[in-house]
Amino acid sequence: MKERRSTAPSWRSFTDLTAALALQAMRKKEKRERRRRKRRRRKRKRWRVQMRTRVFRLRLILHTLRKRRGSLTKSRRSYQGMVRRLQRKPPLLHHHRHHLFQRRQVLLMKELRRKVS
Distance between CA 85 and CA 79 in Å, rounded? 10
**Total-model pTM:** 0.26
Q: Convert the pLDDT of each residue in 69-116 to its tens digit.
A: 555 566 666 667 766 766 666 566 666 666 666 777 777 888 888 888
Q: Please, which residues have CB within 8 angstroms of residue 91's CB and are 6 or more apart in sequence? A: 64, 65, 66, 98
- Helices (runs of H) and strands (runs of E) counted in the chain: 4, 0
State residue 38's pLDDT score. Answer: 82
CA distances (Å), origin 23, targets 13, 84, 113? 15, 58, 85
State residue 49's pLDDT score. Answer: 64
Q: Convert the pLDDT of each residue in 4-47 to its tens digit.
A: 666 666 666 667 778 888 888 889 999 999 888 887 777 666 66
